[in-house]
């Protein structure tokens, strides 16, 4: 954190070496982003995760919606057999 503050408050200017280091860092980051965007191997894993999440949401919604109806039905069965 101090290095960042010192860099911001430094009034001596940025040297050519510092520009080269920044340019290299930007190139590495841009290359990593480009590779991440073009990488299709993770697409299937993401699709499977989305399908699993959708199934979970549908299942939870069904359980919540039907839960009270099933509880009422079992209550009637218990009352009828008692």
Domain count, the chain: 2
Q: What would the mean pLDDT of 3-24 be, rounded to a whole number? A: 69
34 and 48 housed in the same domain: no
54 and 76 housed in the same domain: yes
Taking CA atoms, 48 is separated from 17, 35, 37, 52, in Å, by 46, 22, 19, 6
Q: What would the mean pLDDT of 46-70 be, rounded to a whole number? A: 86
64 and 75 housed in the same domain: yes
13 and 28 housed in the same domain: yes
> For 29-57, how does the pLDDT look when each residue is reduced to its tens digit (9 = 90+)?
888 888 878 877 766 778 888 999 999 99
34 and 55 housed in the same domain: no
Residue 11 belongs to what domain range? 1-39
pLDDT of residue 53: 94
81 and 48 housed in the same domain: yes
52 and 26 housed in the same domain: no
In whole angstroms, what is the distance from residue 79 CA to residue 63 CA? 23
Q: Strand locations in 6-81, DSSP E?
A: none
Q: pLDDT band at residue 7, thresholds of 50, 70 and 90?
A: low
């Amino acid at each position: 954190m101090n290095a960042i503050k010192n860099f911001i408050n430094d009034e001596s200017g940025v040297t050519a070496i510092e520009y080269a280091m920044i340019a290299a860092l930007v190139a590495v980051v841009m290359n990593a982003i480009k590779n991440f965007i073009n990488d299709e191997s993770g697409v299937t894993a993401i699709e499977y995760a989305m399908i699993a999440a959708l199934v979970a949401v549908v299942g939870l919604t069904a359980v919540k919606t039907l839960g009270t109806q099933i509880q009422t039905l079992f209550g009637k069965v218990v009352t009828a057999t008692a």
